Structure 1
Amino acid sequence: MTTPVEMSRDRFDPSPALRELAGQPGLPRFTSVFGPARLAVRHEDVRAVYGNSVEFSNGAQTRLQGTESADVGFILGYDPPEHTRLRRMIAPEFTLRRMRAIQPRIVTIVDSALDALAAAGPGADLVSTFALPVPSLVICELLGVPYEDRDRFQLLTTRQLDFAVPLEERNQVGQEVAEYLRELVSRHQASPGDDLIGELIRLYGADLSFAELVGVSHMLLIAGHETTSNMLGLGSLLLLENPAQLAVMRDSPDAVEGAVEELLRYLSVVHFGLPREVVAEVTVGGDTLSVGELVVCSIVLANRDAAVVDDPDRLDLTRRATPHLAFGHGIHHCVGAPLARLEMAIAFPALLRRFPTLRLAVPAAEIPFHTTGPVYGVQSLPVAW
């Protein structure tokens, strides 16, 4: 599969082809992985699209993917008022107060993963031993998914998100994931636990349908490990290649929060959000968009917009806080952002302090990248210490 231009990178940076497209005025037309579309690349334009749920709809997602995902409560495919109702139920589970309550457990999970990494070393694959297990165990515990099932759902969700896999096969994988989650939700309904699914059942059992519980679980399971694990893997590679920046993350506790935000901005592991369909004529970036047109928003380009960020192609973990769109914007802003931030703020410094001599075990040019999915990262990261 040829990498679609909106997913193309030059290691950590937007590809030359993507930058060339971005150099066109307005919202240039191009052939996206979803078909003919417009590309929003400037920070202001992406905010305008993401922040407008009146002229833009997320409902096209189901039709474009050829799936029934929106029919089973997959909240990302919802528009108001359905989205508003579901979001209001889920959001309280991800408040800063709730995150602080689970922080000690995340610390324990990270420490256990580092113990396993040390036992596997002095050389190991950082992705399979650290970047994947940490967020997977966190989201498993949060949702009440048996951790022994992690390998199964990781394999399934990875294939479901891989655009190189034929659509028919991706749909089949999606059905397998949905069937697994139906069984999981049924068990929770019979005996609600202290996890998020159990809490939703206890609080909103009469207002949430079975299908919506399955859909919410599906979204959180995928988002809860796919994005954070890729941030941990890709971010580790970036830091290993930038020793001065690595030292900031490792040695300056007061700088960690801002350092995580700079990594989120600089790496933008989610290439783009779900495509938006124009449902009422609207003007963005000086272009008038017609009903039925699709708009793909390039998060990586918006986060490298010189109108918002000084010297945007420079990594600076001490940079003064700058607005970024790594978690989206508007009503679909990532509900799990506080959890992702907390995991990274714990995991990166802990890794670098536990292994102060951490280094790449192979030449940087040999590191394989994910190039056929909506979330960017490294497939493996051989390290030594």
Structure 2
Amino acid sequence: MDYIQMGKEYVMNTYNRYPVVLVKGKGAVVYDEQGNEYLDFVAGIAVNNLGHCHPSVVAAIKGQVENMIHCSNLYWHIPQVELAKLLVENSFGDKVFFCNSGAEANEAAIKLARKYSKKKYGEHKYGIITMQHSFHGRTLGSLTATGQTKYHEGFEPLVEGFKYVPFNDIDALKDAIDENTCAVMMEPIQGEGGIYEADEGYLRKVRELCDEKGLLLIFDEVQCGMGRTGELFAYQHYGVQPDIMTLAKAIAGGLPLGAMIATDEVASAFKPGDHASTFGGNPVACAAGVAVIKELLGGVIDNAREIGEYLKSRLLELNKTHPVINEVRGRGLMLGVEFNMQEVAEVVNRAMKKGLLVLSAGHKVVRMVPPLIITKAEVDKAVEILDQVLKEMEV
């Protein structure tokens, strides 16, 4: 059966999909319907942090499905409370709101920031400043927060009240603040925009500026959170705490789940009826989330830190031998390889044909976000394939 042709006939055309039908995954390896094996350095776009079908996640899902699949948020259920407790105990936050995706988590953060600021300072406080090259989601609010015009085109008019400034430019941020500003929203490490890290000291200056001006600081850790950078949350590298943080992607081991975490003071602006999500904090997803955090804290984060340094060192070796590579950047197992070419699609396609899955982050960057359980041997295999691809392209 031709599932690719069937998909083109029945599925809406919103993705440029590769001509591969994946049917199985185990650890850091996936298989297509012909039985071909691929080393997965995409991990569902930084979702499968524990790899595919991790035994703890599978067991948690099976156990919960046998007891209760869905529970309305009109009632309490145990997995949601347990997951909220784990998130609070291991972060800056005091309260958690659950939803289904990163876009929804960022929508919730935007709403909470406006509600809190209007209650505290007045109705004029609604403006939010975000960063150029940022990515915050596809819903209209999170799309507007995204500092890339290519995602805005065709969806105007956008939501009122957003400004964009260059990342790592504290003076530009200062200049953008006005009497309407209520919050600054950013990714500590930009993912979709090209794997750009916050400079040392920049986040501290932003925190100080927000405190001085009475602004909320929102960290979008949808991609860089949940152990991806070698800490449970990326902000922990910088010693700077936000007022609100958003999570999704890897939080439930592959099931749809998002979360917004906030301090007690900020969270208190939301009252019953202000925000909601029918499926947010679903019992099965939360049960998986509990298993994920326990595994991350049980040693997987340490592996991400160690293997991330090893992968970066191997990529830097490639940088020395292949002039087509301009720069290697990132932290932990969230790395980007920038190339001196207009488009990296050929690199991605050639690697896939040789059994390595990678993806782009913009036109010139190959993004590498493998499962955090990846081994040195698997890193060596991936780098060998990438080396072969570049040698072929340079002939």
Same fold (TM over 0.5): no
TM-score range, shorter chain: under 0.3
Per the normalisation by structure 2, the TM-score is: 0.26
**Richer in strand (by share):** 2
